[in-house]
Structure 1
């Protein structure tokens, strides 16, 4: 084990993978900082909200036992001093740092969203939604805004567990546009079977405590509105003086090194890679975490880091407890016409969720064991 100390900020998919790889390979002593008491499986948050499953795991089941875990929030990164400042006023030094703070739903300029809509950006928001649903009447009208992967998974889960109420999905940008035409048709068929009313071609223009007004003038009765559109990241990088894009994501080069601080490496949803566009997902986060660990190892050893090299294989969409759609993609994440739907698609989605945490835990037991799909050949 070297004397190098690496701080990893954020204990999500990318952060835990990076921390495990660094510690298990002996590249550094790792301190993992995150404010949550447990690991949050973001790809299961819709199940937590609907009351059909848990979305948290004990860190002890995932992390290498020699990782130092600090339950706190980082309030500032002091790059020149190579220290991070915590919300309890502690200050911790580092030789290198991995920035993996993740993302959330983000704010919205649509009137009423902040006051009346529920979100699913983290476990706390999912738990609050679960409590609202538990106290709602059986025939409550639920409106889900957003036709992306999160929106369709939430709508399907709620429709299945609340058959006496109504679920409407407002998909202004179309139904799962990233899944391609064949995948979208599969999702639409499942939505019809579950009784979800899909409204497309228009967007939500206002939310109140009892309705959602659409841009075309229609109104939808809503006892509960779930807002799944938009994207936001913590402002930590920007407030610490690091180079970011307009949304506040840390700007890194094609080796995942910050363009403004060579001792800061980024991974996951909260970074934007110059010249490389990756869909935000755990399918991207795990390889980025492993590659961030590799970059840090190279920087500490004084050797050139490798360029980011990762691709995609599929898009997995859970649609209730016994259904799903798995769309095969090329390595650039372009959807193919081939997909697996229905019960078989649902079984694959469940297995992917299980394997995701197993890959993280496996890296903690044997550093360097995790592998991933490489990117398209140039």
Structure 2
């Protein structure tokens, strides 16, 4: 680092990290290094397609990362905040002036008996790559069970059913908990049309997994040659291991400018951040605006300006239902409303979002500062914070 140059290191090359790294190139006196364990960008919202053999779910970093960003293919073992250095798995040490913590999330630990041995997660690139040959080795008529009925579970079940697999979707509760009742009915109809058997309700929790079956809380056993696990997410424990304050799930605690409560040289974005102890929904819809906000916080400090606080719009959630169907569930303040677009138009909107995410990152790489979606929605976030603080005060 030279006296006139500021070194910013971004940990994590997902949606939040790439957005932040690209935006930081706005200043010519900033050196940006992106540390990521993989040499390619993982398009995570396409992992269910990878599992079904319909997409590679990776994009070359050359297509989404600004030329001025140095990519270090490595893993951070520990953050030494007082010394402003990172210990890397390769044995190297990397110094920084500012750090952007964007390590993302992964699948939750498989704690249900038998799940670790017999179930296959789909939360990471490696998970989906390992699942693909397992499905290929299974007979076409072998029963497949997908556990978890959030967006990943629904999309995975629909994608596999669309490929001709007999699929059962075990919800462990409600199908698509985020969805409005009308949207949920639409999804249920379209899953049925694909041949997916939906098992929901209070007794649909999985209690045991074997090589050939899934056992439910009410004692039922569902035959399952391949069990796919999509229930729950977790964040890496890097922040906690490094002595930084985290919430109970391990997300790094920040204020509303995404600055760590421990160190104003560390900002966080994406699934691994908990601003004001009130984390946003894990999604690329949250990650990219947070990445832009984290970068803006660093840039504001370099310009001796007061950073702005988090603005986070959530206008919809989109779910693919195979290659020819989908739903675009509209929302207000991240609460689903009655209005949705489904069928082929829903599928087109979902595909537009998937391609648009990569385009947003590429556009920011070529013209840093052009992304603006993180500047919307302040009132909604502030209302939610006031409500939570009011509940805390009352308690």
Among residues 127, 130, 144, which one is paired with 1:128 in the alignment? 130
Provide the residue aligned with 1:56 in structure 2: 58
Provide the residue aligned with 2:180 in structure 1: 180
Residues 1:217 and 2:231 are matched in the alignment: no
CA distance in 2, matches of 1:26, 1:178: 43
Provide the residue aligned with 2:200 in structure 1: 200
Provide the residue aligned with 1:42 in structure 2: 44
Among residues 242, 245, 248, which one is paired with 2:247 in the alignment? 245
Query: 1:151-202: per-residue Cα shift (whole Å, max 9, x none)?
Result: 00000000010x2x41000012211111111111111111010000000012
CA distance in 2, matches of 1:45, 1:130: 11
CA distance in 2, matches of 1:148, 1:184: 11
Provide the residue aligned with 1:329 in structure 2: 331
CA distance in 2, matches of 1:27, 1:317: 41
Provide the residue aligned with 1:9 in structure 2: 11
Structure 1 residues 116, 275: CA separation in 2 closer, same or farther (over 3 Å shift)?
closer
Query: 1:304-349: per-residue Cα shift (whole Å, max 9, x none)?
Result: 111101211111001100110001111x111111100011100110
Aligned residues of 2:310 and 2:378 also touching (Cα < 8 A): no
Residues 1:92 and 2:94 are matched in the alignment: yes
CA distance in 2, matches of 1:9, 1:250: 13
* Deviation >4 Å, runs of 4+: none
Secondary structure of the structure 1 residue equivalent to 2:178: helix
CA distance in 2, matches of 1:26, 1:328: 40
Aligned residues of 1:24 and 1:64 also touching (Cα < 8 A): no
Aligned residues of 1:171 and 1:200 also touching (Cα < 8 A): yes
Among residues 81, 84, 102, which one is paired with 1:82 in the alignment? 84
CA distance in 1, matches of 2:284, 2:314: 11
Secondary structure of the structure 1 residue equivalent to 2:324: coil
CA distance in 2, matches of 1:203, 1:141: 18
**Deviation (angstroms), 1:298:** 1.6
Matches within 5 A, 1:1-378: 3-26=5-28, 28-161=30-163, 163=164, 165-201=165-201, 202-274=204-276, 276-330=278-332, 332-372=333-373, 374-375=376-377, 377=379
**Deviation (angstroms), 1:134:** 1.1
Secondary structure of the structure 2 residue equivalent to 1:361: helix
Secondary structure of the structure 2 residue equivalent to 1:229: coil
**Deviation (angstroms), 1:24:** 3.7
CA distance in 1, matches of 2:260, 2:199: 42
Structure 1 residues 222, 267: CA separation in 2 closer, same or farther (over 3 Å shift)?
same
Aligned residues of 2:147 and 2:171 also touching (Cα < 8 A): yes
- How many corresponding residue pairs? 375
Normalising by structure 1, we get a TM-score of 0.97
Secondary structure of the structure 2 residue equivalent to 1:352: helix
Structure 1 residues 376, 97: CA separation in 2 closer, same or farther (over 3 Å shift)?
closer
**Deviation (angstroms), 1:229:** 0.6
- Select between 299-308 and 319-328 the one with higher mean Cα deviation: 299-308
Aligned residues of 2:211 and 2:225 also touching (Cα < 8 A): yes
* Structure 1, gaps ≥5 residues long: none
CA distance in 1, matches of 2:175, 2:30: 45
**Deviation (angstroms), 1:376:** 5.0
**Aligned Cα RMSD in Å?**
1.3
